[in-house]
Amino acid sequence: MEGKVILLVIIGTIGVMLMAFSVVFFVLLYRRKMLENQLKMREVENKHQQEMLNATLKSQEEERNRLGTELHDGVGAMLSSIKLNVQIAKRKDKVESLDSVLGHLDETITQVRSISHQMMPIILKKYGLKHAVKDLFEKISSEELTANIEHWDDPELNESDSLMLYRIVQELVNNSIKHSGASSIAFSIVKTKTEVSIEYSDDGSGYPPQILKNSDGMGLLNIKNRSQAIHAVSTFSNKEEGGAKVNLVIATPID
Q: Which amino acid is at 10?
A: I
| Amino acid present at 177 | I
User: Are residues 94 and 133 located together in one domain of the fold?
Assistant: no
Alpha carbons 4 and 1: distance in angstroms, whole number? 5
Does residue 58 sit within a domain? Answer: no
CA distances from 237 to 169, 200, 225, 229, 244 (A): 16, 11, 17, 21, 6
Residue span of the structural domain in which 91 resides: 63-119
Q: Same domain, yes or no, for 137 and 218?
A: yes
Q: What pairs with residue 251 in β-bridges? A: 195
- Residue 106 within a domain: yes
Give which of 166, 153, 73 is closest to 125, Cα–Cα: 166
Does residue 228 belong to any structural domain of this protein?
yes
Residue 52 lies in a domain: no
d(CA 28, CA 107): 73
Looking at 119, 138, 158, which one is the last position of a domain? 119
Tell how strand 146-152 and strand 184-191 pair up.
parallel
What is the pTM for the complete model shown? 0.61
Full pLDDT tens readout for the chain, 255 residues: 555 556 555 665 665 565 665 666 566 666 777 776 667 766 666 665 666 666 666 666 666 666 665 565 555 666 666 677 667 766 766 666 666 666 767 777 776 666 666 666 778 888 899 999 999 999 889 888 999 999 999 998 988 889 889 989 988 998 898 888 899 999 999 999 899 999 999 999 888 888 777 666 556 888 888 888 888 999 999 998 889 999 999 988 655
The answer on 223 and 166 residing in a single domain is yes
Contacts of 153 (CB under 8 A, 6+ apart): 189, 190, 191, 196
Does a structural domain hold residue 8?
no
